[in-house]
Structure 1
Amino acid sequence: MMEIVYKDFIKKRTIFIIFLFLFLILASIYSLLVGSSRFDFKTVIETLLGKGTDKAEAVIWNIRLPRVLMAVSAGAGLALSGLITQTVLRNPLASPFTLGISSAAAFGAALAIVSGIGGIMLKTSLGGFQITNFYVVIISAFIFSLVATFAILTISKVKGPSPAVIVLTGLAVFFLFSAATSFIQYFGTTEQVAAIVFWLFGSLSKTTWVSLEVMSLALFVTLLVSYRWCWKFNALYLSDDLARSLGVDVRRIRLAGMVMASFLTATAVSFLGVISFVCLVSPHIARLALGSDHRYLIPSSCLIGSNILLVADTASRTFFLPLTLPVGILTSFFGVPLFVYLIIKRGGRAWW
């Protein structure tokens, strides 16, 4: 009897993950078809096989395909960073965005741009800008995201690691680095300030194959480590005492988890800007559907994050033609009502 129940448990979760994967494939194909230049399905397939026209190859290979893949990779990375943060802190309100890690990474990247160490801001043929040294920007963003992480952990350790202390500390960090980012914008050139403001909105429009490779590598490494630790995450999410009784080094896993979340967040923020709510909402949807088993939470959260960011990006460049709306604006519009719905659905139950 128990074996039948367990098989049914596995089957339902597997079907849900397969559904998310199939939806992601369909959304990716549709995203390649639509935009300011529309192509039919046959043209897209021919172009991917190297048999398309020069125009189709220029649009699909150089613009849309890396953008679609970046939405998939960054969406998964943001969702995974949110899941890790919520698990190791055992706080469903925790995420790199709400804890100020995203704003700290944004400050680090903005500081690198304004100071000049992130590369020269170049005008493109379309009047845009380009950051020539993304690696320095990533390192700067990562350093400041770690500063925010350790500040939160240190203060919570001094005052007691209660959910309220962690969330309030995160809010303080968020406002501090948001103010600092506004402060350094005052000293930037017109091009630098314009780049920072547009970049803070969150957009996939500057995606390149190089930035996609870096984001995908960061996701792959973090995903590999996270999945190996799924049983430790399960124990840690229940209680520290239970995790210790099962041989889990709670302090090491918590610290490593926060570092991994910071690394993923810093990488995504460096390339795309601040994209809110994907990291907060995706794990909640996954938990609502699948429970708290990280064997299924990790892949499902990543797929949900990929789907949210991909759908939002596709909408941002198709619904408002000839304008392309920054995707960070749409994810906020989508994330706020969904998060309110999740709060209402929980009713009077405690968050922690």
Structure 2
Amino acid sequence: MHLEGHGLSPDYERHVGRKRIFLFGLAAACLVMGIFSVSRGAVSIPVADVVSTLLGGGEAKWRIIVLNIRLPQTLAALLAGGGLSLAGTVMQSALRNPLGSPFTLGLSNAAAFGAAFSIIVLGTGSMQSSAVNAVTIVNPWLTTGAAFLSSLLCMGIVLVISSVTRGMPDVMILAGVALSSLFTAGTMFLQYFADDSQIAATVFWTFGDVSRASWRDIPLMGGLLAAAFLLFFLRRFDLNAVDCGDETALSLGVPASRIRMEAMVVTSLLSAVMVALLGVIGFVGLVCPHMLRRFLGSDHRFLIPGSVLMGGLLLLAADTGARLAFAPRTLPVSVFTAFLGAPVFLALIARRRRT
């Protein structure tokens, strides 16, 4: 039934062409920002040397900095930003709620509680004296699993409340706020009984920061993001139908309830992995989908790849800014995204109200 490429009008072809050009522009911007991010830090590296090192050449002193320190951090920012933005886009569609995101629905704090439980109770986190990596997750699989189960519990409660209240947006957001406070209280409860080292490790971990990522984490983040992207891209027309309402979706033969449950489980896992490895990073999954809809509309054929690119670009730019704003000291990227994301989101709400 898809009409792509079957005698469509020239106006529609130009409309679609502009969206594709926008996506290519985002991809190019990610590449440029990635090279710039690798070249900037406490030690600035010429862009030509960065490119040469990435291509297999370059001096030995640059290879250590580029390949062992900055490249994993840059890739982690791209993958985490893309994953959180993709999760926010799918949540907003599946729940038909413009405020849906891992942060506002309590998933981030729920995953943080699960990870804190793993670090404090199960002993999967250790404290180091290094200023760069103060916390090391010695068992990322167990930590991620605990964060995922906690995140999934939170999403299950949200879905139950959604079914009881027939998906009222205000009720769901209030439920997310309440659950976020509940899991935050649980984290504080664990910290109360922890020793000094565990408290320091947990508090430092909750500051979302991509600099703690290593090459060990990149395959896990990249593999999960690729799998989630493939699943949601294959479901792009189903998500478009769900976005129009359950009755419309069912009339088109789309099982809305199953698609919604599938989307929530996958986005919970995606959010849990990013939070478990990097800490709580807010507003990326909330702001990026709204920014994209102004350029790409609500068609998930373009929203899904666009959200991955925009989220990666936004978090990478924020991480680079946090690294350079108070150099040589590095600000956690979660602080930077909160300072930037909150005003941008308020501006989007104000603009939405005016229109």
The count of corresponding residues between Structure 1 and Structure 2 is 349
**TM-score, length of structure 2 as denominator length:** 0.95
Greater mean deviation of Cα atoms: 282-291 or 49-58: 49-58
- Tell me the distance in 2 between the aligned counterparts of 1:57 and 1:115: 39
The residue number in structure 2 matching 1:23 is 29
Displacement of 1:122: 4.6
Deviation at 1:160, TM superposition (A): 2.8
In the alignment, does 2:92 pair up with 1:89?
no
Gaps of 5+ in 1: none
- Give 1:1-352 correspondences, 5 Å limit: 3-124=9-130, 128-347=134-353
Q: Residues of 2 paired with 1:51 and 1:256: CA distance?
A: 45
1:26-55 CA-to-partner distances (Å, cap 9, x unmatched) read 100100111001111222123223333332
Match of 1:91, SS? coil
**How far apart, in 1, do the equivalents of 2:132 and 2:24 lie?**
41
Task: Give the CA deviation at 1:189.
Answer: 2.3
How many Å apart are 1:57 and its aligned residue?
Answer: 1.4
Which segment is superposed worse, 175-184 or 266-275?
175-184
**Counterpart Cα distance in 1 of 2:132 and 2:219:** 25
Query: Is the contact between residue 135 and residue 204 of structure 2 (CA under 8 Å) also seen in structure 1?
Result: no
Q: Residue 2 of structure 1: CA displacement? A: 5.8
> SS where residue 209 of structure 1 aligns?
coil
Q: Which amino acid aligns with 1:112?
A: S
CA shift in 2, pair 1:228/1:127, >3 Å: closer
Question: Which amino acid letter does the alignment assign opposite residue 285 of structure 1?
Answer: M
CA distance in 1, matches of 2:305, 2:185: 35
Say which SS state the counterpart of residue 98 (structure 2) adopts.
Answer: coil
Q: Which is further off, 125-134 or 29-38?
A: 125-134
Q: TM-score when scaled to structure 1?
A: 0.96
Question: 1:325: Cα distance to partner?
Answer: 0.3
Deviation of the 1:8 alpha carbon: 1.2
Q: Is residue 121–residue 131 contact of structure 1 (8 Å, CA) maintained in 2? A: no
Change (3 A) 1:298 1:126: closer
Give the letter for the 2:44 counterpart.
R
Contact 1:122 1:131 in 2 (8 A): no
Q: For the Cα contact (< 8 Å) 2:125–2:135, is it kept in 1?
A: no
Could you tell me how far 1:262 is from its partner in structure 2? 0.4
Q: SS at the partner of 1:130?
A: strand
Q: Quick check: 1:123–1:130 contact (8 Å CA) kept in 2?
A: no
Percent identity, aligned pairs only?
Answer: 42
> Over residues 126-154 of structure 1, what are the superposed CA-to-partner deviations in whole Å (9 max), with x where a residue is unaligned?
68331211110000000000000001111
Instruction: Give the Cα–Cα distance (whole angstroms) in 1 for the partners of residues 133 and 9 of structure 2.
Output: 63
**Residues in 1 aligned to 2:147 and 2:328: alpha-carbon distance in whole angstroms:** 32
**Structure 2 spans left out of the alignment, 5+ residues:** 1-6
Q: Secondary structure at the match of 2:210?
A: coil
Mean CA deviation greater in 293-302 or 186-195: 186-195
Q: In structure 1, what residue type is equivalent to 2:194? A: G
